[in-house]
Chains A and B, each alone.
Chain A
Amino acid sequence: DVKVTQSSRYLVKRTGEKVFLECVQDMDHENMFWYRQDPGLGLRLIYFSYDVKMKEKGDIPEGYSVSREKKERFSLILESASTNQTSMYLCASSLAPGRGLSYEQYFGPGTRLTVT
């Protein structure tokens, strides 16, 4: 059974704190993604990684960074949390092109982050 897990379901942090969101997948997927989901805006891509130690900016990378030291783990970092980063954060993974249904992404349960 495919599985993507995220370190926390709910998180409350203060403005200016450094925040780490962790994502782990057990499917040997090459690609991993971080999205944020806000009402009326759908899922917006923050960062993605198509290989270990590789990372690429998505559509809204400002205020975020990522780390992928191992294939199964992809971390999202908020260097200095701000209230406009209050959101639902979703991690996803997928196979590389040429290894099956590479466009189907498998999602974790999400982390609802509140920054006060």
Chain B
Amino acid sequence: EDKVVQSPLSLVVHEGDTVTLNCSYEVTNFRSLLWYKQEKKAPTFLFMLTSSGIEKKSGRLSSILDKKELFSILNITATQTGDSAVYLCAVGSLSWKQGTSYGKLTFGQGTILTVHP
């Protein structure tokens, strides 16, 4: 059974702090790891990682994947109150049904990040 585990489950920090969110996985037919940010609405896409050791960056957010140790981290530097959200890690895998392939995501529980002013 595919499994994705995020830690910590919740985190409270002050503006300006740096945070690291963790995601470990056990998934067959691994293809990619995705990070999403969810405020009080639809999850929005942050990053997709497919190769080990290559950091992806977007502003103050960065992420890296280790396919040998089966984990990823999401870093947020100089946090702001607008970073308060649930951060979801999901692992994409390839599956087949009746001769048709499809991409499936298995999600972790999410990390609730609260940034205080």
Contacts and interface: CB of A to CB of B under 8 A. Distances in A.
A10 to B, nearest CB: 12
Nearest to A98: B101
Interface residues of A, number: 31
A11 interface: no
Interface residues of B, number: 29
A45 B45 CA distance: 18
Contact of A104 (B34, B42, B97, B98): B34
B102 A103 contact: no
The secondary-structure label for the interface of chain B is: strand
B101 A97 contact: yes
A102 B103 contact: yes
Contacts of B110: 42
A102 to B, nearest CB: 4
B25 interface: no
Interface of B: 4, 6, 9, 31-32, 34, 36, 41-45, 48, 88, 90, 92, 94, 97-98, 100-105, 107-110
